[in-house]
Structure 1
């Protein structure tokens, strides 16, 4: 690592070092304020990742998370300047005290979940929640730290700490808020029992236990076991949808088990547990009062394996950051901002140096936009309107928009191929969009697509499409995923067929029950698709593909979730708003 340091700071101590960074406690020379500064470790690490980390963390604002103020960067190095906290890591607390009282364990879990919920609200998934990333203060309150491998919801790889990794992380599948719920539940089990939920001799065995082993509830109080079983479900769809939903469940379970005063007792117990570790508090060890830090009570630690527990942080120095701004190399990634201490306060300095405070993130919203097919084949000229996401996380919005337009592009390609096969004259197509369900978890859209061709003029060319998108991950949700394994059994498909016939408003389905099978539903071009609504599935049935009368074309039938019963996934029904 180079000898570059953020100008204007005097290093006081090293708080941790690891594969992803080095954190030091430093004092700003001009104001005396203390900061935790995280430096990139090793010239071989890409700066783009460091910049991305700073950008992700700057989106999160919550008292349960140690605040990141900004990125300082020049040709020699880069560093993230962080908020301050005086406390000990939960890792050290557990090593010193072993199992915690249930109320204390629930208190740690609730505080961490509230911090994770704030991150989930802006589309950020932590992916590496563990005891070393939670700091417990002297007053018994805790803060979540170190988003070193945080990512936008939907990112897929095997990053994480193996003993706390969710099954989908082991399979390198997309991360979601439910991934953090799994890790938080693992830590809760460790807090309340004094041991990790899954232990093994090697990685292969550990992977097998996370993927297929029974949920370990031995040692967990009986009344808290449903909480653990829910949070450690193998399928992320069977867990609470996110940290906020899990907090709601936790509070109900904790109140039933330990009474309305459980949280206050838990905080007191945590304060007692951490008192013996006061010598590890970074500010206390240096004789610095918390009031002298940039933000009383904050914390930060090195990303990805930093040794030790807690850290302290503040704001970047006016002298240091301003000096970097004036340097030849410039500062920060495009669009990032540096926080500079000035006269005891904080001022934002944009990367362009214009001195304006960055705009607040725009909430995710949806609007109709012109649809134009990127293909330039002369056989077809498409037009109309599609639904498009705006605001929110750029990466998440990009995934949502890709999911929203993919079936339309596929339909246009089908039209082009057909026109070529029939040697038909050039034609046009039109798209009309209807939003059926708009949040909070899912967006469901029906596209009415028509082909205007003299040769291909049969009504069967004009079939509507249904698109469902998970707003948490940006992933599409087709009918098979809505029904789940039970719904795709022979009994499940027969129930769906019966409900379609019953709900038909005088169409062909009323006369002939469709012969639906798992194979038909999972076909790349299914003849039955559906959009989610609050209380019903809006099912679009192509009678031709199901052996119906050719003249029938396509019918739309509303199927109540209540009618499907066990043959539709309950978490999808719940999150749709039923």
Structure 2
């Protein structure tokens, strides 16, 4: 019987075939965009149910750090997924080539993976199999997380996973939690900087650079309660440790180093070649099809070492679609003994193997000797499909980094630890300048306050120090939200401290949002703010001067608290920032309470899940937030 095919695509060639599925490269019939299609054609009701559950779970993930599933198609003869393309090589292949990475590059890998895991955690999903084979490093140095083949909803448990990176509670079969993924990600980070993978649950911390050892110790704590609350929380700790150890520009250096490491494998990235006439034989001869997972088994005459998300290239029969490498199994070990046919992400699809042909969120890939391609859905009834006849254009990858300013800011102000968020990759220089000016605004305003204070006060030759402590919440793709605690010593001629601000910037316009942009008009009434307050709970306190404060220390909300005032509490300030500001984080909604003065309980966050406040927000803002 002929194979069934997803309508609207023209198959170019088969990358591999197994007992339960096949992988093909295809072009969208009208736009000509390349896609990879993974078919599940056997496996029975259990396999289909597992696939459907996985697709439903991962289809709701949206993150630039996770390779996304765009379509899951069911048919009376099986199921299929269609995925988008990103050139890259697995972190496993990069480490095989280089053994270890520069600390800044390893930190960048960890940060990107944590941001991807944070998006999963926000959706209630725990990956459970984070490892180098499931991290793809692109040619520009950015990385994506793949293969959610054994992911579960938080609170579920089993002993599935890769032993070297499994958290102690995972080994015991206890319920999975975000801290489980934090442990695995930290293990991989340690491997990146030391060149040695964990053995028997022992992480090689002695070879980790000394400034980063506390980060590794915290991330791999035996008790999950002693680890960061989740991936998003760990990002803040990572950024602080990295900036302290390697300076404010550590990310830029890490990006260059990681791109250089991946560039060694760039000649093997096969996407461009596959789109040329007769390119199929070249790629096939190098290793066959690859799935999101382990490197290819080299037992084939020319088995590749690449990884990806559609069946791992490796040793096997030449009839599997590769001239001398066969088609391999999915992430995990190869299918059968001595190779096999291409399968899907997850363990091999041979007898007893886990069926996970449609890993929602794991990029579909064909690999040749270390190269990996990730192909995106561009066809059918998906609302994101490009118009017929128009090629899809690459979407800029927005990068959000923490920057730090230190040193003189003119003749009377000295900036000390002036933290601010900075975006890059917007593609429009003018837009990027506007966005960065808005994100830097709280630091610029406290510097201006210091100058104005010095102009009206005898500072006795002492500079006014000014700075900001920033915490990055949402990092795109549309909104970047950053909370700033502002600091100044007023040249030691006055007491008290400023409060702070939240800068939430729309990356489409480069403009900072105000309360009127965020909340419905009905919310910004006396009754509306009372309703909002009733749904919020005090969040963990990260200001040392506010420790011991309780919810009762936050005065009842008033509509005017959400707007600037003309009664600044700090001499030199032109106006008072809002006492209350919306702060969007990957894990939920917060209202930051920030007031000036000399007493405690000035800097507090109150929060709630987005579901509990969505009806109080403007629909156009609510649509941009995690669900």
- TM-score, normalised to structure 2, is 0.47
1:78-116 CA-to-partner distances (Å, cap 9, x unmatched) read 112222211111111111111011111111111111111
In the alignment, structure 1 residue 311 sits paired with structure 2 residue 386: no
Residue in 2 that maps onto 1:266: 254
CA distance in 1, matches of 2:241, 2:265: 30
Distance 2:151 2:379 in 1: 26
CA distance in 2, matches of 1:14, 1:170: 38
Contact 1:69–1:338, Cα closer than 8 Å, also in 2: no
Is 1:223 matched with 2:223? no
Q: How many residues get paired?
A: 325
Please report how far the alpha carbon of residue 56 of structure 1 lies from its aligned counterpart in structure 2 after TM superposition: 1.4
1:25·1:311 contact (CA, 8 Å) conserved in 2? Answer: no
TM-superposed CA distance for 1:279, in Å, is 3.1
SS of aligned partner of 1:4: coil
Distance in 2 of aligned mates of 1:109 and 1:251: 11
- Structure 2 match to 1:78: 79
User: How do 1:432-511 residues align onto structure 2 when only pairs under 5 Å count?
Assistant: 438=537
> 1:439 & 1:304 partners in 2: Cα distance?
41
Distance in 1 separating the partners of 2:68 and 2:212: 32
Q: CA deviation at 1:73?
A: 1.1
Asked whether the 8 Å contact 1:93–1:273 carries over to 2, the reply is yes
- Counterparts of 1:191-206 in structure 2 under 5 Å? 191-198=192-199
Is 1:171 equivalent to 2:160 in the alignment? no
CA distance in 1: counterparts of 2:208 and 2:21, whole angstroms: 35
Matched, 1:36 2:36: yes
Q: In structure 1, how many angstroms separate the alpha carbons of the residues matched to 2:128 and 2:270?
A: 26
Given the superposition, is the C-alpha separation of residues 94 and 12 from structure 1 closer, same or farther in structure 2, using an over 3 Å criterion? farther
After superposition, what is the alpha-carbon deviation per residue over 1:359-390, rounded to whole angstroms, capped at 9, x for unaligned?
Answer: xxxxxxxxxxxxxxxxxxxxxxxxxxxxxxxx
Instruction: Give SS of 2:206's match.
Output: coil
Separation in structure 2 between the aligned mates of residue 81 and residue 272 of structure 1, nearest angstrom: 30
Q: What is the distance in 1 between the residues matched to 2:98 and 2:77?
A: 43
Shifted more, 77-86 versus 172-181: the winner is 77-86
Give 2:91's aligned residue.
Answer: 90
The equivalent of 1:128 in structure 2 is 129
Q: Distance in 1 between matches of 2:170 and 2:51?
A: 22
Offset, 1:275:
0.9
Say whether the 8 Å CA contact 2:65–2:115 is kept in structure 1: yes
What is the rounded CA distance, in whole Å, between the counterparts of 1:109 and 1:174 in structure 2? 24
- CA 1:6–1:107 in 2, change beyond 3 Å: closer, same or farther? same
Contact 1:2 1:77 in 2 (8 A): no
Aligned to 1:46: 47
1:18·1:305 contact (CA, 8 Å) conserved in 2? no
Match of 1:477 in 2: none
Q: Distance in 1 between matches of 2:383 and 2:48?
A: 16
Please, what is the CA RMSD of the aligned residues? Answer: 3.7
CA distance in 2, matches of 1:150, 1:230: 23
Q: How does 1:230-309 map to 2 (within 5 A)?
A: 230-287=218-275, 300-301=309-310, 302-305=344-347
Q: Distance in 2 between matches of 1:56 and 1:138?
A: 29
Instruction: From the superposition, tell whether residues 17 and 122 of structure 1 become closer, same or farther in structure 2 (CA, over 3 Å).
Output: farther
Q: Which structure has the highest helix share of the two?
A: 1
The answer (yes or no) to whether the contact 1:105–1:266 under 8 Å persists in 2 is yes
- The Cα of 1:22 is off from its aligned counterpart by 5.8
Confirm or deny that 1:145 pairs with 2:146: yes
Cα–Cα, structure 1 residues 285 and 132, in superposed 2: closer, same or farther, change >3 Å? farther
CA contact (8 A) 1:127 1:160 kept: yes
Contact residue 54 and residue 80 of structure 1 kept, 8 A = no
**Counterpart position of 1:190:** 191
| Cα shift at 1:50 | 0.7
CA gap of 1:575–1:300, structure 2 versus 1, over 3 A, is: farther
The 3-state SS of whatever aligns with 1:129 is coil
For 2:194 and 2:125, how far apart are their aligned partners in 1? 30
Listed as ranges, the gaps of 5+ residues in structure 1 are 199-208, 289-298, 322-336, 347-434, 442-531, 537-573
Report the counterpart of residue 500 of structure 2 in structure 1: none
Give the stretch that moved more between structures: 29-38 or 148-157: 29-38
Give per-residue Cα distances to partners, 1:233-286, cap 9 Å, x unaligned.
Answer: 111111111110111000011111111111100110111111111133231342
Q: Deviations over 1:389-411 (max 9, x none)?
A: xxxxxxxxxxxxxxxxxxxxxxx
CA gap of 1:278–1:243, structure 2 versus 1, over 3 A, is same
Determine if contact 1:15/1:311 at 8 Å carries over to the other structure: no
Matches within 5 A, 1:521-560: none
| Contact 1:26/1:34 (8 A) holds in 2 | yes
Would you say 1:116 and 2:117 are equivalent positions? yes
Give the distance between the partners of 1:140 and 1:72, measured in 2 at CA.
32
Structure 1 residues 144 and 244: alpha-carbon distance in aligned structure 2, compared to 1, 3 A threshold: same
Post-superposition offset of 1:18: 9.2
The offset of 1:160, in angstroms, is: 1.5
Secondary structure of the residue aligned to 2:207 is coil
> Which residue does the alignment assign to 2:7?
7
TM superposition shift of 1:128:
1.2
Contact kept? 2:126, 2:177, Cα under 8 Å: yes
Q: Is the 8 A contact 2:194 2:204 kept in 1?
A: no
Q: How far, CA to CA, are the matches of 2:148 and 2:81 in structure 1? A: 12
How far apart are residue 436 of structure 1 and its match? Answer: 11
Shift of 1:181: 0.6
Counterpart CA distance in 1 for 2:187 and 2:18 is: 23
Partners of 1:68 and 1:82 within 8 A in 2? yes
Contact 1:22 1:40 in 2 (8 A): yes
Q: Structure 2: 5+ residue runs without aligned partners?
A: 277-307, 311-343, 349-365, 393-533, 541-548, 554-603, 608-627
Deviation at 1:11, TM superposition (A): 4.2
Q: 1:111 to 1:339 in 2, by over 3 A?
A: same
